[in-house]
Structure 1
Amino acid sequence: MLPEEPSDDVALLLARTRAPGAGQVATWDVSPDPAQVAATRQAATEQLTAWGLDETAFVTELVVSELVTNAIRYGAAPIQLRLIRDQTLICEVSDGSSTSPHLRRAHQDDEGGRGLLLVAQLTQRWGSRQTTRGKTIWCEQPLTPLF
């Protein structure tokens, strides 16, 4: 479709042609209180059990815990967790801050700073996108565990 030597930049537009059904998406609003992390993690685990994805619970609990904690600590209200069961399990945490996250290498004696590194190591892919109300951090993991 392109000439041998394009005279300008080339862009590819990719669009999803089908949306997941209502039974494939679970969404929770999260209060910006650190005490809510455990309850949110438990709600996600219960949803995985309802979907028959118990084998993904361990990794998903860690991912939810890290992303929700980061949203509470560094983001802004409103905070929302969304799980999408499609060809992969997608975990999204949205918050009202437009500040982009970044991986950092924590020093051995640091008490924190390893959350996104854990997410990156435990999932297939992760990233962030800006929204009209802030940002969303997302990650994908296979429906069957890697280990």
Structure 2
Amino acid sequence: MQVLQVQMEVGADPAEVGRARRWARSRLAGSGIGADEPLAETLILLISELVTNAVVHTGCPAVLRMLLPGAGPVRVEVADVSARPPRRRHAEGEDTGGRGLELVDGLADRWGWQRDGAGKRIWCEVDRRAACWTGAFEPQHAATNRA
């Protein structure tokens, strides 16, 4: 099975999150995942959360990588040079932040992190083969999209 691997460097500026979303959307379309598919919307949201975490919480540049197989799970990775592990926060009511990793946990089939040189790599996967996959914006998602 051939896997298309694409990556971009992300600067340590919150404005880079929008650029990462636009870049990812164009790469997904080039891999045969339509921009209006629930899978694409879910992946863009996951990318947005992971890149935001890297840029905002570390203040360091990062590298966004997508592995796009013809079939099977799509993998998103964000590597940064901060050795500080990701920390799950619990947002309260009107909080405007603190939900990033909760969203990743709820939307991805699998996710995790690992040390990578002096820094770390946070990754997530969405299994596009699953017959019951409905996407983040479908009501059945939470009940059917868990590994």
* Normalised-by-shorter TM-score class: 0.7 to 0.9
Aligned match for 1:70, one of 53, 58, 63: 53
Letter of the structure 1 residue corresponding to residue 54 of structure 2: A
Aligned to 2:92, the other structure's residue is in SS state coil
**Pick from 42, 45, 58: which aligns with 1:59?**
42
Tell me the secondary structure at the aligned position of residue 19 of structure 2: helix
Contact 1:126 1:138 in 2 (8 A): yes
- What is the TM-score normalised by the length of structure 1? 0.80
- Matches for 1:105-120 after TM superposition, within 5 Å: 105-120=90-105
Q: What is the identity percentage for the equivalent residue pairs of Structure 1 and Structure 2?
A: 37
Equivalent of residue 50 in structure 1, options 27, 30, 36: 30
Does residue 33 (structure 1) correspond to residue 16 (structure 2)? The answer is: no
C-alpha contact 2:55 2:61 (8 A) present in aligned 1: no
The answer for unaligned runs of 5 or more in structure 1 is 1-19
Larger Rg: 1 or 2?
Answer: 1
**Structure 1 vs Structure 2 CA RMSD:** 1.7
- The answer as to 2:108 corresponding to 1:123 is yes
TM-score (norm. length: structure 2): 0.80
Unaligned stretches of 5+ in structure 2? 135-147
- Matches of 2:116 and 2:94, distance apart in 1: 35
How many residue pairs get aligned? The number is 127
